Chain A
Amino acid sequence: MLIKKPSDIPSSEITPEGLYLSRRRFLGGAGALVGAVAAGGAISEILSPSQSALAGTKLQYSQSQYSTSEKQTPLNDITHYNNYYEFSTDKYEPADLAKNFNTRPWTIKVEGLANKPKTFDIDALLKMQLQERIYRMRCVEGWSMVIPWVGIPLSAVLDDVQPNSKAKFVEFTSLKDPKRFPGQQRNVLDWPYVEGLRMDEAMHPLTILAVGLYGETLPNQDGAPVRLVVPWKYGFKGIKAIVNIKLVDYQPTSSWTKAAPNEYGFYSNVNPEVDHPRWSQAKERRIGEFTKRPTLMFNGYGDQVASLYTGMNLKKNY
């Protein structure tokens, strides 16, 4: 499958040139080696429970300049501390409850205001030019991780369907299947889970569809087979188990916004100055660390994304 060249991204959406990913740095010996080392290191971290939870197919991918060099959160923590309400509201439970979640067959329908709507098979998605993106992940609850995702820029998929000029937002929908998602048997949220991005946010090169973690296919409890990762926003924006991506002309209402509009806004950009109504967002606990660290504006991705919000009142548009 074809990935469009970076120049296909409208200039208003792109980040400084220096940060451009070199498309020539495709998977090579170096990439494979780094991947293998990362995966190998990860395996030493895991205890037996996580091994069974891991689908464990190795992925081929290239490195990315967007990756942070910060210390990565151990795989065992990334796979045993999950906010995944489709399985459970308890963060320690999805690891076990998702064990037998079947992610095949799986298709992602990309439709709406586009010239060439298309349904992607997950295995076709996995064959696209995958990249590793080591991102900080800041949960709205006040904790954070550093996660080595493997995925594709969302823009690559959207470019493929050619959004038309009326498309202003992207609406994402998760699978709704109470038989496979025990958490959906109760209306904790209005199922299915829905998320949304503004078009320029969706096309931003930092925004990815993740299909893997630590060099292997995504563990079920982390959103398999495909999830959204928008690193400058709170973690709940990263909708999991996506089945539908729709280009729309209205601002989608996210599940959490629907549940508590005064607590979770459409943007949900990480912002240490705008507190959650019930708790402070000034600091966060990085999983594995003892003392809290200050939370960074846009989760530290301000250089790349601040320009998307110039002139916007971020206190109002939380």
Chain B
Amino acid sequence: MKLRSVKAKYFKPLVFLACLVPLGRLAWKAYNAALGANPIQVITWSTGTWTLVFLMLTLTVTPLRKLTKQYWLIQYRRMLGLFAFFYGSLHFTTYIWLDQFFDWHSITKDVVKRPFITVGFTAFVLMLPLALTSSQRAIRWLGKRWQMLHRLIYAVAIAGVIHFIWLVKKDLRKPLIYAAILSVLLLYRVVVWGARRLSQERVENQRSPLLKRSAVATD
């Protein structure tokens, strides 16, 4: 108990700062004009990549805490999820502002016509309700529905990875790494869900003859 609170007290701010390192690095490079020939593209790529990384990290929390029995890890899930949203917002803003420079006509056309932008935009929009309902109060208010709602993160992550796959010109190595990681993370859920259903069935099966017997007994 004591260890846990110490961990929380010192470790959490450290994790928070670590999550800001990618942004700091980008800002430092931008300040030193070290973003290369096409800085806007670098910013777009970097913020997009980190959105995906944080989505993957968020999805890793549950399997990791269960498999390692380090249940305190749950405290970091919200933070990681919000950082995914944070980098996603930066990515989105980069596109709207730096890349398109508020050319709404071109943006609308892009979102409608370009599948990779459509799917990326969808991912971002789906993150909004998750970020908005991340407070303790929202969790309490939504109750069971909160968990249902937050399963949207699976859709967000899938859409994010598809967004990456579809924008690449030829070399699919990097997006496929994300696809592989996401597959493992989702597979874990499927397995857990399947196992739970099986054990539920078993419980029911075990219970039903008993029920029958008791029914007979009362007869």
Contacts and interface: CB of A to CB of B under 8 A. Distances in A.
Contacts of A279: 114, 116
B154 interface: no
B40 interface: yes
A80 B38 contact: no
B109 interface: yes
Given A259-B170, A278-B115, A292-B101, A80 B37 contact: yes
Contacts of A282: 106
Interface stretch (A14-22, A283-291, A303-311): A283-291
A283 B103 CA distance: 11
A92 to B, nearest CB: 6
B166 interface: yes
B73 to A, nearest CB: 34
Nearest to A288: B37
Interface string B150-185: 000000000000000011011100000000000000
A290 B116 CA distance: 23
A89 B171 contact: yes
A81 B109 contact: no
A185 to B, nearest CB: 13
A292 B99 CA distance: 8
Contacts of B98: 290
B36 interface: yes
Contacts of A91: 37-38
B106 to A, nearest CB: 7
Contacts of A259: 170
B167 A278 contact: yes
B36 A278 contact: no
A280 B114 contact: yes
A81 B106 contact: no
A251 to B, nearest CB: 22
B36 A92 contact: yes
Contact of A89 (B38, B99, B170): B170
Given A85-B170, A188-B171, A287 B38 contact: yes
A287 B36 CA distance: 10
Interface residues of B, number: 21
A141 interface: yes
A288 B39 CA distance: 9
B110 A141 contact: no
A102 to B, nearest CB: 25
A249 interface: no
A93 to B, nearest CB: 11
A287 B113 CA distance: 26
A200 interface: no
Nearest to A189: B170
A288 B170 CA distance: 25
Contacts of A80: 36-37
A278 B114 contact: yes
A280 B110 contact: yes
A81 B37 contact: yes
A89 B99 CA distance: 22
Contacts of A143: 38, 41
Given A89-B171, A188-B171, A292-B101, A283 B106 contact: yes
Given A89-B171, A292-B101, A278 B38 contact: no
A92 B42 CA distance: 11
B36 A81 contact: yes
B37 A77 contact: yes
Nearest to B115: A278
Interface string A55-83: 00000000000000000000011001100
Interface in A273-301: 275, 278-280, 282-283, 285, 287-288, 290-292
A76 B36 CA distance: 9
27 contacts: A76-B37, A77-B36, A80-B37, A81-B37, A81-B38, A85-B170, A85-B171, A141-B169, A188-B171, A189-B170, A259-B170, A260-B170, A275-B113, A278-B116, A278-B166, A280-B110, A280-B114, A282-B106, A285-B38, A285-B40, A285-B41, A287-B37, A287-B38, A290-B40, A290-B98, A291-B101, A292-B99
Closest 10 CB pairs of A and B: A81-B37, A89-B171, A77-B37, A287-B37, A291-B101, A188-B171, A188-B170, A279-B114, A143-B38, A80-B37
